Chain A
Amino acid sequence: MLINEIYEYHGYDFSGYSHASFKRRIDRLYQLDGFKNFPDFLSRIRIDSDYFNRMVEEITVNVTEMFRDPLFYKVLRTEILPVLATKPFLRIWHAGCSTGEEVYSMAILLKEANLLHKSLMYATDLNPSVLDTARKGVFPIRMMKQYSENYIASGGKNDFSHYYTAHYGFAKFPEELSAKMVFSQHNLVSDRSFNEFDLILCRNVLIYFDKDLQDKALKLFDDSLARLGYIALGTKETLKFSDLQKKYEQHNRDKIWKKIKE
């Protein structure tokens, strides 16, 4: 019922979200905001568009970090980027980029591989407020110790603190990195392919979708990926249960697949 109302009033379709997870997010918000009964909650969502925006922010999960799963980044660094390096131009899509930590991580990898000058990173998310954060390239300084460890575990050789300037509790990443990023709102449920890419990263996003919606999103990625391009998923996500599997070859046991057939 809630899902129908949201669709009817705001045009967002959450019907393909994993049911158990979505229900928990809604219950959490309902309790967090102290609603006493469900009709109140529903009518607030229906008529108060600021509140609706809050709901979208709260029910979408925005847990992320720089160089999340460092071994994944190590494989990108040592095995995938060297293959892509032969291309004249590199287009990368971060689908569901949240607050952008992984996009900046990618920019650092590209810079170290001397590929940044010929790369463009498209970073999209459903949620406009996380994109604002991502555009700024400003993250809490208290996270930098963890990120620095992740960076080193990913095979980084530099002093990570050279990549940002510390300012009032925040770490600001330079224009040099963000100049190669394009941020825009994109809904994997309803929007279409908008370019052709050599690498698509969509990590820990599909887990929030049910099987049918996952298939739909994977089809969208397939339509947006050049032949011999790569798709990268989260550590517990897989193409194994999808029809796409036949056209793709997994890179060892990593969560990276290469498109081998059109």
Chain B
Amino acid sequence: MEKDKRINGCKLLILGGSAGSLEVLIKILPHLTVLSGYAMVIVLHRKGSEDNTLEELIAIKTTVPVVEVEDKTPLVPGHIYVAPSDYHLLFEKNDTISLDTSEKVNYSRPSIDVSFETAADIYGASLVAILLSGANADGTKGLISVKNAGGTVIIQDPVSAEVSFMPGNALDNMKPDFVADVKKILELILSINID
């Protein structure tokens, strides 16, 4: 199951999570200084509201620039993008993000499945998807698409997750490349595109 602990050729890293995942991000983000050659997109289940609290919280935890996502925002390596509340975040061919307000998926908008699936279509093997702590089934179908498209899948070890259902559900339904606790997730991220 485990492959070599290095991840290369990554253009896009997506972190998806729900309840208990913000704590993981807060532990990881301060250790990131440069995202070499790839963009990071964070898709968390969040309350439907107009504020930018999550973006601001993420921005103070890292020196990597955080870009406010609007429709057709270009994805640029080295930057972090946060899925806005009440929109699904999708990926388009020309390295842009599009947003959509269609029906909730798994009771969620943004839905992690929607971002994983559309990213898998575009980025294939150059996609790394990480699924964190959470209390619903969102993310599992998306990870299967990522895997089928040749991307790298990392699932937070349910034992280390504050809420184990989401990563546990994914593990019941697919074989990831890595099962990792927070420390190991950080190591894996730091290894991306470092030959």
CA distance A24 to B93 in the complex (A): 15
Q: Is B114 in the interface zone, CB < 8 Å from A? A: yes
In the bound complex, residues from chain B placing their C-beta under 8 Å from that of A240 are 70
Could you tell me if B90 and A24 are in contact, using CB atoms closer than 8 angstroms? yes
Interface residues of A in 226-240 (CB under 8 A from B): 234-238, 240
Mask: chain A, 180-223; 1 = CB below 8 Å from B; 0 = not: 00000000000000000000000010111011001000000000
Look across to chain A and name the residue whose beta carbon is closest to the beta carbon of B87.
A236
Tell yes or no: B56 within 8 A of A by CB.
Answer: no
| A19 close to chain B: CB less than 8 A | yes
A237 near B98 (CB under 8 angstroms)? no
How many chain-B residues does the 8 Å CB contact rule pick out?
Answer: 24
Residue of B50, B72, B102, B121 ringed by the most chain A CB atoms within 10 A = B72
**With contact pairs A63-B103, A236-B71 given, residues A20 and B121 touching in the complex (Cβ less than 8 Å):** yes
> A18, B98: Cβ atoms under 8 Å?
yes
A21–B71 CB distance below 8 A: no
- Residue of B69, B91, B100 near A61 (CB, 8 A) is B100
Whether A236 contacts B100 by the Cβ 8 Å rule is: no
> Does A69 reach chain B (CB closer than 8 Å)?
yes
Q: Compute how far the CA of A236 lies from the CA of B71 in the bound complex, rounded to whole angstroms.
A: 6
Cα A24 to Cα B90 in complex, Å, equals 10
Is A25 interfacial (CB 8 A cutoff)?
yes
Q: Are A19 and B93 CB-contacts (below 8 A) given A235-B50, A241-B72?
A: yes
Considering the complex, give the chain A residue whose CB is closest to the CB of B96: A211
- Would B103 and A207 count as touching, CB distance under 8 A? no
Residues of B39-63 at the interface with A, using a CB-CB cut-off of 8 Å, are 50
Say if the beta carbon of B177 comes within 8 Å of chain A.
Answer: no
Q: In the assembled complex, how far is the CB of residue B182 from the closest CB belonging to chain A, in whole angstroms?
A: 31
A71 contacts partner chain B, Cβ-Cβ < 8 Å: yes
- Contacting residue for A63 out of B50, B71, B102, CB 8 A: B102
Say whether A69 contacts B72, CB under 8 Å: no
B99 & A236 in contact (Cβ 8 Å cutoff): yes
Q: How far is the CB of A255 from chain B (nearest CB, A)?
A: 9
Contact A21 B90, CB 8 Å, known A63-B102, A236-B84, A238-B70: yes
- Binary interface encoding of chain B residues 89-122 relative to chain A, with 1 for a CB under 8 A from any of its CBs, else 0: 0111110101111110000000000100110011
**Nearest CB in chain B: distance from A69 CB, A:** 6
- Given the complex of chains A and B, what is the CA–CA distance between A69 and B84 in angstroms? 14
**Residues of chain A with a CB closer than 8 A to B70's CB:** 236-238, 240
B118 in contact with A211 (CB, 8 Å): no
Task: Give the contacting residue for B102; candidates A24, A210, A238, A241; CB below 8 A.
Answer: A24
Q: Which of A19, A24, A69, A238 contacts B71 (CB 8 A)?
A: A238
Instruction: Give the B-binding residues of A (Cβ under 8 A).
Output: 18-21, 23-25, 61, 63, 69, 71, 204, 206-208, 210-211, 214, 234-238, 240-241
Can you give 5 contacting A-B residue pairs, CB < 8 Å?
A18-B98, A61-B102, A207-B98, A207-B99, A240-B70
B contacts, CB < 8 Å to A: 50, 69-72, 84, 87, 90-94, 96, 98-103, 114, 117-118, 121-122
- What 19 additional pairs, Cβ within 8 angstroms, besides A69-B50, A207-B98? A18-B98, A18-B100, A19-B92, A19-B93, A20-B92, A21-B100, A21-B102, A24-B114, A61-B102, A63-B103, A71-B50, A206-B71, A207-B99, A207-B100, A207-B101, A208-B100, A211-B94, A236-B87, A238-B70
